Amino acid sequence: MDWSLAELEDIGPRDFPTDHLSWLKACEQASPGRCLVLRHGDVFLPLCLRKRLGLTVLEGLGQDFRSIAGPIGGNGSTMAAIDRPDLPMTVDLVDFRRFPKELASLVFPSSKSRLERFDIMHFGKALGNTEHDFMMSLSKSVRDELRYTMNKATKKIGSSNIRYETISIDADNWCDTWNMAEEITKYSWQGKSGLSVLQDKDKERFLKNVMMNGMPIIFHFCYLEDNMAAVSINIKHADTLVMHVHEYNGKYAKFRPGYLLNHKVIMSAISDGASWLDFGVGDTPHKRMLRCEGKELWRVLVPLTWKGRLAAGYQKLRWRAGQAVPSKRTCGK
């Protein structure tokens, strides 16, 4: 059976938040092109057709926003190969990112000009059924460090000066809460380096669209001495907790407020039925500290016309030029 056209609504409810219809609709609203969904049995592949530098490019829908921008449904490994006859239109270049490594070979396998390589790491972790399960999944040194951090903050600041706040977002309080959270960027390393999601208007609009499409967005704050010390923006859906944004105030670095807040959020989510943590993409020390599992996501580039071959050739040269730079790719331990 060949791939056929489908609608986003055909994908139906999904437990994994970034595969859910609410998230996919927000991806469609954020995409500069036209949404295109292919279906093979119970496997769906949400895509986006767009114009880029004079080329017609086929991308994964929301591949800058989804944790893993691959097929949805089925068993993952049951995805059928997709090739040129499966496309209902002419495409110059296929450019899939955040695509599961184990499925990359099924993307236009007959093309002799296809390119594939490592793109980014995704991190996740089974939380267990109880708070005790989660704590025992960490190394003894990490458990000791968490206890030491909590005791240090309590002794130096006082338990009455450590406060947590949780705000569920809706259309009425979105702007005020976002602006309040954005204040931390004056003191966070993300804000000072220009990498903060809280300062990115496109990502703010995307998260607001996720909320408007029906998925709850939760803001968590940690205050030390009445000063904002850490911020976390999370999505809890079904049994999955998505840690989407987390920043801390550098002035309180010695008290590890980011660790304090993340631990509080995770424990609360476990109590609320979460058993899986989606810690997003990008390799950072705290993800390894929590013993998150690393999953390689790949980029697949397939030229289908002469214009596409020129673009792919240029990208190949850029990749070769970058091979001299040591790879920082590591899996969570």
Name residue, tokens 């929590």: 290
Could you give the CA distance from residue 26 to residue 17 in angstroms, rounded to a whole number?
A: 12
The residues pairing with 76 across neighbouring beta strands, listed in sequence order, are none
Name residue, tokens 């987390």: 246
pLDDT in tens, 85-136: 999 999 999 999 999 999 999 999 999 899 999 999 999 999 998 999 999 9
The residues pairing with 118 across neighbouring beta strands, listed in sequence order, are 298
Domains of the chain with CATH codes:
4-121+296-322 (no CATH), 128-274 (3.40.630.30)
pLDDT in tens, 304-314: 999 999 999 99
Contact yes or no for 134/128 (Cβ under 8 A): yes
pLDDT in tens, 140-179: 998 898 888 889 989 988 888 999 999 999 999 999 999 9
Contact yes or no for 105/83 (Cβ under 8 A): no
Contact yes or no for 238/257 (Cβ under 8 A): no
Helix (H) or strand (E) holding 314: helix 306-322
Q: What is the DSSP letter of 105?
A: G
